Structure 1
């Protein structure tokens, strides 16, 4: 039944894709639209086969490859003057990478190296493709939570985590404020709200444990 099920989805997918190609070429050859539904039709047999055989790593690799090929083709066909696919491709690659790493993704050294690679990659895109504004601070802020969280969770230092995380968020808002709207000081408002995190941790968790 497994073989017949996968075989049916493969045959059905390719027959449907062939039908869509014919309809596309006969009705509107000036616009290649069959690519969009074809991506979903290709993921159908791939997902069914991998899930039935519990090949989760292979599923992430194949799906990532299909999506990346689609984005690169779309970029080349629609807007070849600007390589916007580079922004998405690197993010998609992290899906199979994390699946392959498995539990090692929770290692502090791996998270630090991964975060550094992530930041350097988008920093290069920022410098060479969009040098007008340092937008790299936003993905850098997001990815640095990975090593910060792993470091404190592995040591169960949750109160220190609240302190360091609050400082990290405060630095982020101050940086965005200085870069984006340096004539208007607005960072103080979210910083004030963030400071309640370590304060509440101290009075309701950390201090009670010391008293006990």
Structure 2
């Protein structure tokens, strides 16, 4: 029964893609638009074959390959002058990486390794492809929450978590202020709001009962 479902999905996808390609050729041959619904239709038999049999890890690899191939095609055909696939592709491959990592994916070591790799990779892209503005500070700020959250939540150091998170956020505001508008000091305003987190943790959690 399962084989019949997969065969039906494969034949249905092929027929649908052929029909859409024919309509595309007859109505608007100058624009290849059938590739977009074709990408979605291919997911039907792929999902049935891998996910239906419980092979979720293999499914993540197959789907990741399809997504990267689709985005690469879009990059080459639509905007060949700028390789934006390098930004999206690296983020997408973390799905199968984390799937195959298993229990290690939830460890502090994995968070540290992953954060380091992401910061280095996108930092190199920033340096090589768009050195005009150091936008790496934004993904770096976001990804540093990964190991920081795992460490402090597991050790249940809530005040230290709030303090480090506030310092990290303040560092981001100061850096952006210094880069974008050094003539006007506006970072003090969001920093003033952020510091209330550790202050409230101290007075309502750390403060001994009277």
Tell me the TM-score normalized by structure 2: 0.94
Matches within 5 A, 1:16-55: 16-55=16-55
Shift of 1:103: 2.2
Q: Distance in 2 between matches of 1:101 and 1:65?
A: 18
Structure-2 residue corresponding to 1:2 = 2
Shift of 1:199: 1.4
Structure-1 residue corresponding to 2:118 = 118
Give CA-to-partner distance per residue, 1:140-173, whole Å, 9 cap, x none: 1111111111111221111111111111111011
Structure-2 residue corresponding to 1:211 = 209
CA 1:103/1:206 → structure 2, altered by over 3 Å: closer, same or farther? farther
Give the aligned CA root-mean-square deviation in angstroms: 1.4
Structure-1 residue corresponding to 2:136 = 136
Matches within 5 A, 1:72-151: 72-151=72-151
Q: Distance in 2 between matches of 1:49 and 1:203?
A: 56
Give CA-to-partner distance per residue, 1:3-39, whole Å, 9 cap, x none: 2222211111111111111221222221111111111
Q: Distance in 1 between matches of 2:93 and 2:169?
A: 27
SS in 1 for 2:93: helix
Shift of 1:181: 1.3
More displaced stretch, 48-57 vs 81-90: 48-57
Shift of 1:2: 2.3
Q: Distance in 1 between matches of 2:151 and 2:19?
A: 53
Tell me the TM-score normalized by structure 1: 0.94
Q: Distance in 1 between matches of 2:161 and 2:149?
A: 7
Q: Which consecutive unaligned segments of at least 5 residues does structure 2 have?
A: none
Q: Distance in 2 between matches of 1:83 and 1:35?
A: 20
- The number of equivalent residue pairs is 210
More displaced stretch, 63-72 vs 105-114: 105-114
Shift of 1:102: 2.5
Q: Distance in 2 between matches of 1:50 and 1:211?
A: 57
Give CA-to-partner distance per residue, 1:22-70, whole Å, 9 cap, x none: 2212222211111111111011222233332222211211111101000
Q: Distance in 1 between matches of 2:47 and 2:192?
A: 47
Shift of 1:74: 0.8
Q: Which consecutive unaligned segments of at least 5 residues does structure 1 have?
A: none
